[in-house]
């Protein structure tokens, strides 16, 4: 007997690819929709969402806590979003280096090999990895749309800051940007991202009275199709979200001004994966 639960499911593919930045193999999880392997879709190409997790997590977070495969399967089955690939990597790339207190000390080769090592995290490393290694790998191996119009970048919390940097500093690569319980201005994550706000230079040439110019800039220069910001109203970081509102207003961006710039808040929602299971579907419905 057929029920509403009786429909083809997508799956997760585990990939290991070389990271130039860390000089090591890094693991990716790729969600692939059920239709991808259908004989009837041999010539079909798929858009790709590059999705980042929050601080302290890894590539498993979206599947373990965000229930991403289940969410994607059900949304696509009901027509709630387009078919797409979703690529998840470890946004907290780590490199192990000798734990040497005095960098000027002359260590022998033997000591270097046996010295204790400590992980060094640099969340900006992931952006380099994504641009130089991940995207080329995915476009080469999978049936993708290898163009700006076929790519979205989004993230939760820390991952949203990575998405903001990727989306606006490298706007030639992405048409859709999603900041999910997150930030435009990376000063809030200074210890993680170095307070690097160079990606915001795209806004800073505009003033409050330049709203029409900003709209034109998004459509004609950035060619951005969706810039989505969302956060729960009980989120501890909600004051930062409001500060981002102020920053955007000061530079001529009127939130919810059209179908490109979209701002949403969620009553009762906190900085949590429960909130993500509400926010992510709203973003997915808008892309591609």
Cβ(100)–Cβ(66) below 8 Å: no
Quick check: is 246 in a domain? yes
Quick check: is 102 in a domain? no
DSSP letter at 69? H
The pLDDT mean for the chain works out to 82
| Number of structural domains in the chain | 1
CA dihedral 189, 280, 225, 30 (to 10 degrees): 90
pTM of the model: 0.84
**Residues 181-215: tens digit of each pLDDT:** 988 876 655 555 555 566 777 677 677 666 677 77
Quick check: is 62 in a domain? yes
How high is the pLDDT of residue 168?
86
H/E stretch holding 276 reads: helix 273-284
How high is the pLDDT of residue 189?
57
User: In 51-156, which residue ranges form alpha helices assigned H by DSSP?
Assistant: 61-64, 68-77, 109-114, 123-129, 135-141
How high is the pLDDT of residue 123?
59
DSSP letter at 150? G
How high is the pLDDT of residue 58?
85
Cβ(91)–Cβ(153) below 8 Å: no
Candidates 178, 167, 155; CA nearest to 55 is 155
Range of the domain at 226: 12-97+116-285
**What are residue 262's DSSP bridge partners?**
228
In whole angstroms, give the CA distance from residue 288 to residue 145: 11
Quick check: is 109 in a domain? no
- Name the residue with tokens 């979200």: 241
Quick check: is 104 in a domain? no
How high is the pLDDT of residue 94?
62
Residues of the chain with pLDDT under 70: 1-4, 94-123, 186-198, 202, 205, 208-211, 255-258
In whole angstroms, give the CA distance from residue 175 to residue 226: 7
In whole angstroms, give the CA distance from residue 41 to residue 38: 5
How high is the pLDDT of residue 249?
83
How high is the pLDDT of residue 53?
92
Quick check: is 256 in a domain? yes
Phi first, then psi, for residue 120 (nearest 5°) are -115, 115
H/E stretch holding 234 reads: none
CATH of the domain at 269: 3.40.50.1820
**Residues 59-104: tens digit of each pLDDT:** 899 999 999 999 999 999 999 999 999 999 988 876 544 443 333 3
Quick check: is 106 in a domain? no
Quick check: is 146 in a domain? yes
């Amino acid at each position: 007997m057929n029920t509403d639960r009786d429909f083809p499911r997508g799956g997760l593919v585990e990939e290991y690819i070389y990271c130039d930045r860390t000089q090591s193999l890094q693991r990716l999880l790729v969600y692939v929709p059920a239709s991808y392997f259908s004989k009837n879709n041999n010539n079909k190409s798929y858009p790709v969402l590059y999705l980042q997790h929050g601080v302290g997590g890894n590539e498993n977070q979206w599947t373990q806590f965000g229930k991403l495969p289940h969410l994607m399967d059900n949304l696509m089955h009901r027509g709630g979003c387009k078919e797409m690939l979703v690529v998840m990597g470890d946004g907290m790339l780590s490199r192990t280096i000798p734990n040497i207190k005095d960098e000027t000390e002359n260590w022998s080769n033997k000591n270097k090999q046996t010295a204790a090592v400590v992980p060094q995290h640099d969340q900006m490393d992931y952006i380099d990895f994504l641009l130089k290694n991940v995207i080329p790998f995915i476009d080469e191996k999978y049936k993708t749309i290898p163009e700006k119009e076929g790519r979205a970048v989004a993230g939760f919390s820390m991952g949203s800051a990575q998405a903001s940097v990727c989306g606006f500093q490298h706007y030639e690569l992405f048409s859709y940007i999603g900041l999910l319980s997150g930030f435009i201005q990376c000063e809030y994550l200074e210890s993680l991202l170095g307070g690097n706000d160079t990606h915001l230079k795209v806004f800073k040439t505009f003033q409050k009275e330049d709203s029409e110019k900003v709209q034109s800039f998004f459509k004609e220069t950035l060619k951005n199709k969706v810039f989505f910001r969302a956060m729960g109203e009980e989120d501890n970081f909600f004051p930062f979200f409001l500060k981002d509102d102020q920053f955007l207003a000061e530079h001529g961006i009127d939130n919810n001004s059209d179908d490109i710039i979209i701002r949403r808040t969620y009553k009762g929602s906190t900085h949590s994966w429960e909130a993500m299971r509400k926010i992510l579907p709203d973003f997915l419905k808008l892309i591609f």
